[in-house]
Structure 1
Amino acid sequence: MTDASNRQDELNKPALCASCAAVQRNWRRAPGHAELVQMSSRKVERSDGDSGGHTVTITSYRCDACGTRWEYENDKTNQQAGWSVVEK
Protein backbone atom coordinates (compact mmCIF):
# COMPACT_ATOMS: atom_id res chain seq x y z
CA MET A 1 0.00 0.00 0.00
CA THR A 2 1.05 3.55 -0.52
CA ASP A 3 1.47 6.13 2.22
CA ALA A 4 -1.64 7.96 0.97
CA SER A 5 -3.84 4.87 1.20
CA ASN A 6 -2.43 4.03 4.66
CA ARG A 7 -3.29 7.53 5.87
CA GLN A 8 -6.80 7.25 4.38
CA ASP A 9 -7.34 3.91 6.15
CA GLU A 10 -6.34 5.52 9.46
CA LEU A 11 -8.75 8.41 8.88
CA ASN A 12 -11.61 5.99 8.17
CA LYS A 13 -11.14 4.12 11.46
CA PRO A 14 -13.42 5.38 14.21
CA ALA A 15 -11.55 6.55 17.29
CA LEU A 16 -11.64 4.67 20.57
CA CYS A 17 -13.42 6.41 23.42
CA ALA A 18 -11.13 7.93 26.06
CA SER A 19 -11.71 4.99 28.42
CA CYS A 20 -10.78 2.40 25.77
CA ALA A 21 -7.74 4.41 24.70
CA ALA A 22 -6.51 4.32 28.32
CA VAL A 23 -6.64 0.50 28.63
CA GLN A 24 -3.12 -0.95 28.85
CA ARG A 25 -2.89 -3.65 26.19
CA ASN A 26 -0.93 -6.88 26.25
CA TRP A 27 -0.23 -6.80 29.98
CA ARG A 28 -1.75 -9.42 32.25
CA ARG A 29 -3.71 -8.06 35.23
CA ALA A 30 -4.16 -4.61 33.65
CA PRO A 31 -7.64 -3.25 34.46
CA GLY A 32 -10.29 -2.65 31.84
CA HIS A 33 -12.85 0.11 32.36
CA ALA A 34 -16.41 0.52 33.65
CA GLU A 35 -18.17 0.57 30.25
CA LEU A 36 -16.83 -2.86 29.19
CA VAL A 37 -19.66 -5.39 29.12
CA GLN A 38 -18.74 -9.08 29.30
CA MET A 39 -20.05 -11.07 26.33
CA SER A 40 -18.66 -14.61 26.45
CA SER A 41 -15.74 -16.77 27.58
CA ARG A 42 -13.94 -19.67 26.00
CA LYS A 43 -11.07 -22.00 26.90
CA VAL A 44 -8.09 -22.28 24.54
CA GLU A 45 -5.18 -24.72 24.69
CA ARG A 46 -1.71 -23.11 24.55
CA SER A 47 1.43 -25.16 23.95
CA ASP A 48 4.40 -24.93 26.30
CA GLY A 49 6.93 -26.40 23.86
CA ASP A 50 8.34 -29.71 25.07
CA SER A 51 6.45 -29.71 28.37
CA GLY A 52 3.00 -30.05 26.78
CA GLY A 53 0.37 -27.37 27.14
CA HIS A 54 -2.04 -25.54 29.37
CA THR A 55 -5.50 -24.06 29.09
CA VAL A 56 -6.17 -20.32 29.18
CA THR A 57 -9.46 -18.45 29.42
CA ILE A 58 -10.27 -15.76 26.84
CA THR A 59 -13.18 -13.48 27.70
CA SER A 60 -14.87 -11.21 25.13
CA TYR A 61 -16.11 -7.72 26.01
CA ARG A 62 -17.85 -4.86 24.20
CA CYS A 63 -17.57 -1.20 25.14
CA ASP A 64 -20.98 0.42 25.70
CA ALA A 65 -19.54 3.86 24.95
CA CYS A 66 -17.85 3.31 21.57
CA GLY A 67 -18.65 -0.28 20.52
CA THR A 68 -15.07 -1.53 20.47
CA ARG A 69 -14.79 -5.30 20.93
CA TRP A 70 -12.07 -6.48 23.30
CA GLU A 71 -10.68 -9.82 24.43
CA TYR A 72 -8.91 -10.47 27.71
CA GLU A 73 -6.59 -13.49 27.79
CA ASN A 74 -5.93 -14.79 31.30
CA ASP A 75 -2.70 -16.75 30.91
CA LYS A 76 -0.72 -16.93 34.14
CA THR A 77 2.40 -18.11 32.29
CA ASN A 78 2.47 -15.15 29.86
CA GLN A 79 2.93 -11.64 31.27
CA GLN A 80 2.16 -10.18 27.80
CA ALA A 81 -1.29 -11.77 27.68
CA GLY A 82 -4.15 -9.47 28.65
CA TRP A 83 -6.27 -6.94 26.76
CA SER A 84 -6.39 -6.75 22.96
CA VAL A 85 -8.75 -5.04 20.54
CA VAL A 86 -10.62 -7.53 18.35
CA GLU A 87 -12.48 -5.06 16.15
CA LYS A 88 -13.91 -1.58 16.20
Structure 2
Amino acid sequence: MTEDTSPPKVAQKSTLCESCAGVQQNWRKAPGHPELVQGDSRPEKRRGHLATVTRYSCARCGTNWDYENDKANLKAGWSVVGRARN
Protein backbone atom coordinates (compact mmCIF):
# COMPACT_ATOMS: atom_id res chain seq x y z
CA MET A 1 0.00 0.00 0.00
CA THR A 2 1.32 3.45 -0.86
CA GLU A 3 1.20 6.49 1.36
CA ASP A 4 -0.92 9.43 0.35
CA THR A 5 1.56 12.29 -0.04
CA SER A 6 -0.89 14.86 -1.35
CA PRO A 7 -1.24 17.99 0.79
CA PRO A 8 -4.27 18.07 3.10
CA LYS A 9 -7.27 19.87 1.69
CA VAL A 10 -8.25 23.09 3.43
CA ALA A 11 -12.03 23.15 3.75
CA GLN A 12 -12.09 26.82 4.74
CA LYS A 13 -10.82 28.01 1.37
CA SER A 14 -13.89 26.67 -0.42
CA THR A 15 -16.26 28.45 1.99
CA LEU A 16 -14.70 31.90 1.58
CA CYS A 17 -16.22 34.34 -0.88
CA GLU A 18 -13.93 35.70 -3.59
CA SER A 19 -13.21 38.87 -1.59
CA CYS A 20 -12.26 36.95 1.58
CA ALA A 21 -10.12 34.51 -0.39
CA GLY A 22 -8.09 37.51 -1.63
CA VAL A 23 -7.19 38.79 1.86
CA GLN A 24 -3.51 38.29 2.67
CA GLN A 25 -3.40 36.53 6.02
CA ASN A 26 -0.72 36.81 8.70
CA TRP A 27 0.78 40.05 7.44
CA ARG A 28 0.36 43.27 9.42
CA LYS A 29 -0.93 46.24 7.40
CA ALA A 30 -2.42 44.00 4.67
CA PRO A 31 -5.78 45.40 3.54
CA GLY A 32 -9.05 43.64 4.19
CA HIS A 33 -11.95 44.17 1.80
CA PRO A 34 -14.93 46.57 1.69
CA GLU A 35 -17.53 44.00 2.86
CA LEU A 36 -15.82 43.37 6.20
CA VAL A 37 -17.92 44.82 9.01
CA GLN A 38 -15.96 45.89 12.08
CA GLY A 39 -16.93 44.49 15.45
CA ASP A 40 -15.39 44.76 18.92
CA SER A 41 -11.73 45.37 19.72
CA ARG A 42 -9.88 43.88 22.65
CA PRO A 43 -6.36 44.16 24.05
CA GLU A 44 -4.33 40.94 24.27
CA LYS A 45 -1.01 40.45 26.02
CA ARG A 46 1.86 39.52 23.71
CA ARG A 47 5.39 38.96 25.09
CA GLY A 48 5.18 41.70 27.69
CA HIS A 49 3.19 44.25 25.69
CA LEU A 50 -0.38 44.71 24.52
CA ALA A 51 -1.64 44.18 20.98
CA THR A 52 -5.10 45.19 19.75
CA VAL A 53 -7.26 42.49 18.17
CA THR A 54 -10.37 43.58 16.26
CA ARG A 55 -13.12 41.20 15.12
CA TYR A 56 -14.62 41.60 11.64
CA SER A 57 -17.37 39.69 9.84
CA CYS A 58 -17.86 39.43 6.10
CA ALA A 59 -21.29 40.70 5.05
CA ARG A 60 -21.24 38.44 1.98
CA CYS A 61 -20.15 34.99 3.21
CA GLY A 62 -20.30 35.32 7.02
CA THR A 63 -16.64 34.51 7.64
CA ASN A 64 -15.33 35.90 10.94
CA TRP A 65 -11.89 37.47 10.92
CA ASP A 66 -9.56 38.80 13.60
CA TYR A 67 -7.12 41.56 12.74
CA GLU A 68 -4.20 41.68 15.17
CA ASN A 69 -2.36 44.99 15.25
CA ASP A 70 0.92 44.17 16.97
CA LYS A 71 3.71 46.53 15.97
CA ALA A 72 6.30 44.08 17.28
CA ASN A 73 5.10 41.24 15.04
CA LEU A 74 5.11 41.76 11.28
CA LYS A 75 3.24 38.45 10.83
CA ALA A 76 0.26 39.47 12.95
CA GLY A 77 -2.57 40.82 10.76
CA TRP A 78 -5.61 38.94 9.40
CA SER A 79 -6.68 35.45 10.44
CA VAL A 80 -9.90 33.50 9.86
CA VAL A 81 -11.57 32.55 13.13
CA GLY A 82 -14.75 30.88 11.94
CA ARG A 83 -18.10 31.50 10.34
CA ALA A 84 -21.13 33.36 11.57
CA ARG A 85 -24.05 31.12 12.41
CA ASN A 86 -27.19 31.80 10.42
Partner SS, residue 42 of structure 1: strand
Aligned residues: 77
| TM-score, normalization by structure 2 | 0.81
Q: Name the % identity.
A: 58
Matched letter for residue 59 of structure 2: D
The aligned counterpart of 2:33 is 33
* CA RMSD in angstroms, aligned pairs only: 2.0
Which structure is higher in helix share?
A: 1
- Asked whether 1:69 is paired with 2:54, we answer no
- Which runs of structure 2 are paired with 1:1-88 in the superposition (5 Å)? 10=11, 15-47=15-47, 53-88=48-83
Q: Is the 8 A contact 2:13 2:21 kept in 1?
A: no
1:77 partner amino acid: A
Off by >6 Å, runs of 4+ in structure 1: none
Q: 1:16 to 1:61 in 2, by over 3 A?
A: same
* Secondary structure in 2 matching 1:19: helix
